[in-house]
A and B are shown apart, each in its own frame.
Chain A
Amino acid sequence: MQLTGAEIVIRCLQEEKVEHVFGYPGGSVLFIYDEFFKQDQIKHILVRHEQGAVHAADAYSRSSNKIGVCMVTSGPGVTNAVTGIATAHMDSIPLVIISGQVPTAYIGQDAFQEADTVGITRPCVKHNFLVKDVKDLAVTIKKAFYLAKTGRPGPVLVDVPKDITVQKCEFQYPKTISMRSYNPVVKGHAGQIKKALQLLLEAKRPIIYTGGGVILSDSSEKLTRLTRTLGFPITQTLMGLGGYPATDKQFLGMLGMHGTYEANMAMQHADVVLAIGARFDDRVIGNPNHFAQVTRKIIHIDIDPSSISKRVKVDVPIVGNVPDVLDEMLKQLEAAEAKVDAKSLSAWWKEVEGWRSRNCLKYKQGKEIITPQYVVEKLYEVTGGDAFITSDVGQHQMFAAQFYKFDKPRRWINSGGLGTMGFGLPAAMGVRFANPKAPVACITGEGSIQMCIQELSTCKQFRLPVKIINLNNGYLGMVRQWQEMFHGNRYSESYVDALPDFVKLAEAYGHVGMRIEKPADVEPALREAFVKYKNELVFLDFIIDPKANVFPMVAAGKGLSEMILAEDL
């Protein structure tokens, strides 16, 4: 049967079992939107800004392991989406973005709402396509879905000129796809795995260090089994939280710039590091030269060969899909005659416990001023540690990562790589669509929340009962912290004057707003939000200590063990 390009787009999405598309209509995608109107299999979520659409689709994927799908129009629709696409790209999130384009004959003529979409997005997508013939449309969309999810995942964009959406051709959706230029590795090299295992069994001061790759590949269970079998300490990156139960005693907390004292010290002083789905980035190991001063053996499991030996020289590289490699590792471990060096391990644990006893996250909660750490701890208690937590970027993000103990994967949703302020609220929407019954909280600050605040309107339209935990200190907190510590207390442009009344703002959008100013009111307010107003969006504006800083801290360019601790430690 002959279908138009617009019909083909919708049919392809249906074939891919897409349930939700986040988007915003415009001139170039009118025919596609017309087809949305004529069907009810796919639900379209109208956001208020294209950045919100991409963040929502992104978090939809992060919290469910489905591919997030968004649709935007040409020109400004695409440029608005770019921040969202780059965010997903940095964190390897599988998305398919369908963008409208001006008609083929107008391309290059500086037409109304024309932008070089393929050119603009090229550095921040896994791959992109410009469809030049309606006959290529279906296979291109198939490729987009295939590329997004396989190998190291990432966003894939398909740019569809308007004339293509009107032209007709025979529709047939390919069942499978193969590309001679794209063959991601799955199984790890068995010999390398054997070598790795030998190192692990001989290790005297081992540590397991995992990142977002464990979450993305749904390997938490296997990782937990391996970690428990080995009995090693484990630490995780910001992106890896939830990959191993945070309440377990083998877990040392997050490592890196704002990681725990014990995690950073153990990472620095380990003699064997087992890195899984992590990439030794600058926020994780600090200065690579300082890190390299200690001799250690590094085993690195990653699906992307280019992540291996990029910043830190690796001794045993294992390229492969994390769950497949872990399976093989567990199999070989169970069959191995040698056992871990229990004596050394127990001495190592003693040392680690010594570091842990510094209690580096200690803070004081007085009677007058609310501290941000206290709010996150109470949120953890009130939600039983079982909520989906999205966050924006800054101090509140670090407090959330340090104090909300994630026992399950895909519960901690944040922009780790790009560090995108404005991510939290639209992300919370995406999470809620993927998990319609789950409690969702967005931990944010008065700076970040205003970067995508318009999505409060989307939340109203779709009745999304997100709880916004606004840690309001009147400052761009992380900027202020750096200015205090490294720029002689010169608070250049980090004080946010003329803040809106967030309670009234929430009410104006049709939601519930609360301002909380006393520590004693924190828990009752949270309970009210999660119990009494269970089905409402509640904006909780916590007026917090403007001087609170995030510790421990590894200053930029410093080594992992050169942490700045809170004053009274």
Chain B
Amino acid sequence: MRHIISILIENESGALSRVSGLFSARGYNIESLTVAPTEDASLSRMTIVSVGSEDIIEQITKQLNKLIDVVKVVELSEAAHIERELMLVKVRATGKDREEMKRVADIFRGRIIDVTDSSYVIELTGNTAKLDAFLDAIDRSLILETVRTGVCGIGRGDRILRV
């Protein structure tokens, strides 16, 4: 099962390595990990996507809580939440593909943020499935480069994660 774990952690040097080290040392897997400071600069927020049984996710949550720098841990995916990922795709855009690429990007509500005479960079946000669907919808041979941020997520409504 795929789970999303959100973590508030002291924004200290080495904080990321404590978390990633925990995952590798205990053999837990990470599908994606995002991290950045929050509105309170002393705190970072991480979103980790991991795959494992309920038991394993429970252990991951407990082990994360045990890290001294970790302030809060929430399993986001156990209740209503929103997840988003940002993707930048550089595609070849020449001839008839140029128009077609623009059209597909529009359908997915993507934005073209860089244009040359032979390429576009398309910016796309959405959940993981949507980004995958976009890549499936365009001609794979036209993809020059992709970069994805990994998932970040937030609880819906009253579900608030803060100190």
Binding site for B on A (CB under 8 A): 118-119, 122-123, 126-127, 130, 147, 152, 179-182, 304-306, 309-310
Contacts and interface: CB of A to CB of B under 8 A. Distances in A.
B154 interface: no
18 contacts: A119-B14, A119-B17, A122-B17, A122-B21, A123-B21, A126-B68, A127-B68, A130-B13, A130-B14, A147-B68, A179-B68, A181-B69, A181-B70, A182-B68, A304-B66, A306-B63, A306-B66, A310-B59
Interface in B11-30: 13-14, 17-18, 21, 25
Interface in B54-84: 55, 58-59, 62-63, 65-66, 68-71
Contacts of B69: 127, 181
A305 B21 contact: no
B41 interface: no
A136 to B, nearest CB: 11
Contacts of A130: 13-14
Given A306-B63, A309-B55, A310-B59, A118 B70 contact: no
A152 B66 CA distance: 10
Contacts of B68: 126-127, 147, 179, 181-182
A118 B58 contact: no
Contacts of A118: 14
A306 B70 contact: no
A180 B71 contact: yes
B152 to A, nearest CB: 21
B62 A305 contact: yes
Smallest CB-CB A-B distances: 6 pairs: A306-B62, A127-B68, A181-B71, A305-B62, A306-B63, A123-B25
Nearest to A304: B66
Secondary structure type dominating chain A contacts:
mixed
Contacts of B18: 122
B163 interface: yes
Contacts of B55: 309
Contacts of B70: 181
A310 B56 CA distance: 9
A415 to B, nearest CB: 20
Contact of A180 (B14, B21, B25, B163): B163
A309 B163 contact: no
A309 B58 contact: yes
Most buried by B among A119, A179, A180, A181: A181
Contacts of B59: 306, 310
B43 to A, nearest CB: 9
B5 to A, nearest CB: 15
A152 B67 CA distance: 12
Interface in B70-125: 70-71
Nearest to A119: B17
Interface string B16-50: 01100100010000000000000000000000000
Given A147-B68, A181-B70, 15 more contacts: A122-B14, A127-B68, A127-B69, A152-B66, A181-B9, A181-B68, A181-B69, A181-B71, A182-B68, A304-B66, A305-B66, A306-B59, A306-B63, A306-B65, A309-B55
Contacts of A126: 68
B65 to A, nearest CB: 7
A50 B55 CA distance: 39
A305 B65 contact: yes
A182 B72 CA distance: 10
Contacts of A179: 68
A143 to B, nearest CB: 9
A305 B59 CA distance: 9
Interface string B118-134: 00000000000000000
Contacts of B65: 305-306
